[in-house]
A = this chain, B = another copy of it.
Amino acid sequence: MHRSGLATAGIATELRLLEAAAREFALHGFAAARIRDIVDGAGVNLAAVNYHFGGKGGLYQATLAHLAREARDAFPVDSPELRAMRPEDQFRAYVRVMLMRYLGQEHAFPLSSIVAHELLDPTPAFGQIVQGVSRPQLDRLAEIVRALLGPRASGDDVALASLSAASQLTFFLFGRRLFEAQFPALAADPAVVDRLAGHISAACLAAMRATREQLEGERRARLTPARPARAMAKGEIGVDLAPQAVLRRSSSDSP
């Protein structure tokens, strides 16, 4: 057993491993990632993975938890300051944060890339990931959208508008390579994120404004009494990702 009372060393190794693992899993996903590449990237011995994390699956779990912790801190899509803004500006801020995650650096934020891989080719961690990472983001977005669409918007109205916004953002996670290959002029612009954020925010806000006008025009036209807005589920950013068995596609696994 390891890490009993006060372990001094070794946590440096663990950290290096977690960071290298984040890179590798982000690039290739769980199945195609190779632990030899991870330990090489971390500059640690091959056996360290099993010693510290019990195996590839354990390392994956730990990496998810580590990244989730990290995401809570950087890239906030919720905070008291944000909530103090007008809904339009909350929306603009949300768009911008998401684009930063995807396009802000040479590589997307690793957790985002891992989510992408999970969506394409899920591991047993899929449920955890959706609940812990995607869901809070989408809930937060839906909350903003609801405020923008006004009290007459139905659940489906909110869902569709959220979907439109979310999809225009996640494109730059999944399709970043396509974007760079097909729109080199745009992609090379040092202010890509700002331009895209401006465009996407404007397009979505315009579409939502149109929807709202239509909804309220309908109301005036039909003289229907306003339905009360449904209570909104609180959108937390928190992520836990407690360890749980997660492994290879169909093989045996340690308890």
Contact = CB atoms under 8 A, between A and B. Distances in A.
Interface string A191-217: 000001001100100110010000000
Given A159-B183, A164-B168, A28 B121 contact: yes
Contacts of A199: 160, 164
Contacts of A130: 177-178, 181-182
Nearest to A113: B120
A185 B32 contact: no
A25 to B, nearest CB: 11
B167 A27 contact: no
A165 to B, nearest CB: 9
Contact of A32 (B29, B160, B166, B210): B29
A252 B125 CA distance: 33
Contacts of A171: 163, 166-167, 170-171
24 contacts: A29-B29, A31-B31, A31-B32, A116-B120, A120-B120, A122-B177, A130-B177, A130-B178, A134-B178, A135-B182, A138-B182, A156-B185, A156-B186, A159-B186, A163-B179, A166-B175, A167-B167, A167-B169, A170-B171, A171-B171, A203-B207, A206-B207, A206-B210, A207-B207
